[in-house]
Amino acid sequence: MSLDKKEWHVLLVEDEFDSLQMISKIMMHHGVDLRVARDGQECLAVLDTYTPTLVVMDLALPVMDGWETLTALRAHEEWSQIPVVAITAYHSVSVEADAYEAGFDGYMPKPIDTNRFMDQLASVIMQHDES
């Protein structure tokens, strides 16, 4: 996969308005093809018609949280290899460790570091491509 951000297809799963707006603006500034889901069920519905390069997903979501959504993604043959980055306002070392153990490919605490955000996503994409 090219690291040209204009070739990225990202599904952002976020219910919190301010985070959604900030992350969307960063990605659109870089020319990323972006789709948005507001909860885990909507994420799975979007994946029926959209194949992202990467999923960026909040852990605390209504209806179906990020943990449950990741489990559903990994259990689905067509979606199991999509890299998924967890984002959360409830950061701690144990939550980060739990996220990697659960199968997330990346982890970022909120507030997002806007200067490093896209580089961090690029790193996850590169690591995924190498594996």
Closest CA to 2 of 30, 28, 25: 30
- Ordered by where they begin, the domains of the chain are 5-130 (3.40.50.2300)
CA distance 65 to 57: 9
Task: Compute CA 120 distance to the chain's CA centroid, rounded to the nearest angstrom.
Answer: 11
On whether the CB atoms of residues 23 and 112 are closer than 8 A, the answer is yes
Mind listing the pLDDT tens digit of every residue in the chain (131 residues)? 456 888 999 999 999 999 999 999 999 999 999 999 999 999 999 999 999 999 999 999 999 999 999 999 999 999 999 999 999 999 899 999 999 999 999 999 999 998 899 999 999 999 988 87
